Amino acid sequence: MSKLHPCFVGICYNISNMQEKKIQLEDIVSFAKRRGFVYPGSDIYGGEAGLYDFGPNGVELLNNIKKAWWKANVYERDDFVGIDSAMFKHPRVWEASGHVGGFSDPLAECRNCHHRIRVDKELNILGVEADEKLNEEQINKLFDEHRDEIKCPVCGHKDFTAAKGFNLLVKSNLGDFTGEGKRPVYLPGEACQGIYLNFKNVVDTMPVKIPFGIAQIGKAFRNEISPRNFLFRTRELEQADTQYFVAPHKNKEAFEHIKQRRWDWYVNDLGIKQENLKWHQHENLVFYASDAWDIEYNYPSLGFDEVEGVHDRTDYDLTQHMKFSGVDLRYHDPVTNEKYIPWILETSMGMGRCFLAVLADAYTVETLPSGETRTVLKLKPELAPVKYAVSPLLKNKPELVEKAREVFMALKKKHGNVMWDDNGNIGKRYRRQDEIGTPYCVVIDFDTLEDDTVTIRDRDTTEQVREKITTLLAR
C-alpha cells in the first residue's frame, strides 16, 4: 500500500461525523427494484400477488446467504449432512404431516367488498396474542371482542363474516391424467417433510449416528390469504431447515445449543445488529411440541417479527410417517441395541425474510459532512453481490481500458462476480457501487501503466490506497 493518486484526494469522508436516516419498508422495496435486487413477479403483466423475482444483484446476495447457511450448518459440523429432496411428494405425505386436515389460517370476508383478511394477524396488530393454532371457536371469541377495531383495508367497513379455517396447501395435477383431479398432489407446504422422508435412507447409506442432523434448503408454497409486506409474506417461499435427531428425552440441552448457534449465525455470519434481533417464545404450542421459539428481526415499518422458528417437536413427525407409510422408521442404536423413534429439534428459516433482514440491516443513508447524502449497503464483504468494481480512470483512453480489462478479467477469474463500471465520473461510480454494497472499487490510471499499482477505495471508510496489482490479485 502506498500514497494516494492526486486525482482522488477529497473524495474521502470523515465517516464518524455522518448521520444515519431511519429507513421505511417502502424505501427498501423501491431500492431493491431500482438496483436489481428484487423485482415484482410477472412485472410486465402488472405483477402477481405474493411472488417476487430476484435480479442480478439479488441472486448473488441470496446465494451468498445460502452459502453462509450451508457452511455453518453442514460444512462446519461433524454431525450434519445435507440433502435436496424432490418438491412433489406422495399425496399421503401431506395427510401424515397434518397439512391436508389442519394447515389452515383463520380467514374472514368483508361483507361489503369481499376482501379477505387473516384474523390472527389483524388481532396481532392490535396487540392481541393469537395465531393459526387457535381453533375456530377460540379465534372467533377474540375476533368478536375486537370487531370494532378491525377495518377492511380495502373499503374501510367493519362488517366481516366469522373466521373460518382456510387450507393453505397448493394443489396440482402432476401425474393425474384423469382431468378430474382424482389424485391431487400438492406443492410442498413446508420444505422439511423431505428430510423426514429421507431419514431412513440417510441412516442406511451414510456413516451417521444419533444424535445427528440433516440440512436442506427447499421451496415451499402457501396459499396465503393476504400476501404482503414484500418478501415477508409471499406465496412462494424458500426455507432453510435443519432437523436434529436425538434419542427420546435427550432434547433439552441440545435445544439450548441449537438456539445459541442460530442466534450467533445471524450476528456473526450475517453481521446483523444484535439490537435488531430478539427471541420470542410461543405461548400456544401445537399438541405434540414441547417448546417453540422464534428469532425475530426488527423489520422496517413492521417492527419485530419472525424470521426463523426453532422447534422441539418430540417424536411426532417420524411417528406419523411410520403410521402412514407402514415402514419401520425406528433407529437401532448400535451401542445399546435399543430401537426407538428419534425426537426432532427443528430450525426453519424463511430465506426471503432472512434476505430482507440482511438488506434492511445493511441499508444505510448517511448525511455527509458536506450536507449531501450517500446510500451505502454495509454488507459483510462475504455477502456483497459484487466483490470488486473495476474502472479505467478515463474510458476514452485505450491504454487505460486495456490495462483495466486485464485486471478485471483476472479478478473475475478469482472472485466470480466482479463488475466493470466505466460510466460517469469516478465519484458517481463510487456512489453506485456503495449503493449495492461493493466493498472495493479498483481504478486504473496513468500511474498504473508506469508502476503496476492501482487505487483501491474502501466502501465503508471511503479511504483510498495504492496497491500493486500482484498484491491485489493475491488477496
The binding site for ligand ATP (CB under 6 A) comprises 190, 222, 224, 233-234, 237, 239, 306-309, 348-350, 352-353
Q: Could you tell me the CA-to-CA distances from 387 to 12, 31, 103, 301, 417 in Å, in that order?
A: 20, 20, 42, 30, 6
- Whole-number Cα distances in Å, 450 to 7, 387, 455: 16, 26, 13
Residue 200 or 353: which CB sits closer to ligand ATP?
A: 353
The Cβ of residue 240 has, within 10 Å, a number of other Cβ atoms equal to 21
Give residue for cell 415499518. Answer: 301
Cβ nearer to ligand ATP, comparing 224 with 467: 224
Q: How far is the CB of 264 from ligand ATP (least distance, A)?
A: 18
Closest residue by Cα to residue 459 from 36, 9, 15: 15
Which is nearer to ligand ATP, 307 or 407 (by Cβ)? 307
Cβ 161 to ligand ATP shortest distance, Å = 21
DSSP string across 126-153:
TT----TTS-HHHHHHHHHHHGGG---T
Say if residues 299 and 232 touch (Cβ distance below 8 Å): yes
Helix/strand/coil for 172: strand
What is the C-alpha separation between 52 and 38, in angstroms, rounded? 7
Q: How far is the CB of 30 from ligand ATP (least distance, A)?
A: 20
Which residue sits closest to ligand ATP, CB atoms considered? 350
Q: Which residues fall within 8 angstroms of residue 60, CB to CB, at 6 or more apart?
A: 385, 386, 417
Of the pair 84, 458, the CB lying nearest ligand ATP is at 84
CA 317 to chain centre: 25
Residue 219 beta carbon to ligand ATP: minimum distance, rounded to whole angstroms: 11
Query: Residue 441: beta bridge partners?
Result: 389, 457
Nearest approach in angstroms of CB 370 to ligand ATP is 40
How far is it, in rounded angstroms, from Cα 456 to Cα 414? 17
For ligand ATP, give the closer residue by CB, 89 or 378. 89
Q: CA-CA distance, 171 to 126, in Å (whole number)?
A: 33
CB of 132 to ligand ATP, least distance (A): 7
d(CA 236, CA 64): 20
- State the nearest-atom distance from the C-beta of 286 to ligand ATP, in Å: 10
Q: Nearest approach, Cβ of 183 to ligand ATP (angstroms)? A: 26
Looking at 149-260, which runs of residues are DSSP E strands?
A: 164-167, 171-172, 185-186, 212-221, 236-246
Beta carbon nearer to ligand ATP, 235 or 432: 235
Least CB distance to ligand ATP at residue 135 (A): 16
Judged by CB, which is closer to ligand ATP: 112, or 229? 229
Task: Pick between residue 175 and residue 303 the one whose CB is nearest to ligand ATP.
Answer: 303
Contact 411, 472 (CB under 8 A): yes
383 touches 435 (CB < 8 A): no
Nearer to ligand ATP, 99 or 429 (CB): 99
Question: What minimum distance in Å lies between the beta carbon of 24 and ligand ATP?
Answer: 20
Which residue, among 324, 319, 273, 321, has the nearest Cα to 297 in the 3D structure?
Answer: 273
Quick one: 311 or 403, whose CB is closer to ligand ATP? 311
Which residue, 8 or 316, is less far from ligand ATP as judged by CB? 316
CB of 372 to ligand ATP, least distance (A): 36
Residue 202 burial (CB < 10 Å; 0-12/13-18/19+)? middle
